[in-house]
Amino acid sequence: MTIAPENVMIAFGLTLFAGLSTGIGSAIAFFAKRTNTKLLAVSLGFSAGVMIYVSFVELFLNAQKILGVELGAKKGQFVTVAAFFTGIFLVALIDKLVPSFENPHEAHKVEEMREKRPDRKLLRMGILSAVVIGMHNFPEGLATFAAALKEVNLGISIAIAIAIHNIPEGIAVSVPVYYATGSRKKAFLLSFLSGLAEPLGALVGYLVIFSFMNDTILGVLFAAVAGIMVFISLDELLPTAEKYGEHHLAIYGLLGGMLLMASSLLLF
């Protein structure tokens, strides 16, 4: 299978954009006076809607189609389902390694910057949060990269969804680090660096997988990426959206993301 060099560069650029949006969350924590919880709830729900719709309507079905041609209808369907749940299992395993009391996906608000007193023990939490978020961002980078290689517009949609998802993660890293060190620069830098795992995931995927890419591997990758994004949506985005705001706001955002994604796929 031939992949255009320009598509590879665009795919890398999109993963870089998505990953470094953790810096936006860090900036919000420093400069915003109050967290707009309603906007965050809708935005996170929106991201989940985009990811879930793309996973089932585009990536999973395309994987099934590709693998059906390459392996036969029955075997192709089996491999698609197996790859989908393998993606879920891998990202769930990463999530399982995170102690629940230090999970960086807990909802954080910028008000914490003024409510908490300095505590050196928070530095460990901030560093751990950055490492864990980096671990989560690694498969997300691969997901964005793979989608962009298939179709640039699809990659853009996923990159925007993941970028929104990364904003509260930036807050989760910067708040404890700032209070541990008293340095906005260190807090911003660590938050910023945690997002670099996404382009790193794309780079590793390109070097390890795409060096011997064929249609079968591409189909398996699409199915696994669909599983990764469904798990992220159900385990992280929607629960966090509900913690930030009302249940219905998260669902409205979810439906809006699905509707916009469906419309864009029909039009483009």
pLDDT tens digits for 42-56?
877 888 888 898 889
pLDDT at 107 over 70: no
Give the model's pLDDT for residue 74: 93
pTM: 0.69
Task: Give 238's pLDDT tier (boundaries 50, 70, 90).
Answer: confident
Task: Give 130's pLDDT tier (boundaries 50, 70, 90).
Answer: low
Please, is 34 exposed, middle or buried when counting C-beta atoms within 10 Å of its C-beta (0-12, 13-18, 19+)?
exposed
Return the higher-pLDDT residue of 139 and 86. 86
The CA distance from 114 to 19, in Å, is 27
Per domain, the residue ranges of the chain are 7-263
The least confident of 4-8, 194-198, 222-226 is 4-8
Average pLDDT on 189-199 reads 80
The CA distance from 124 to 132, in Å, is 12
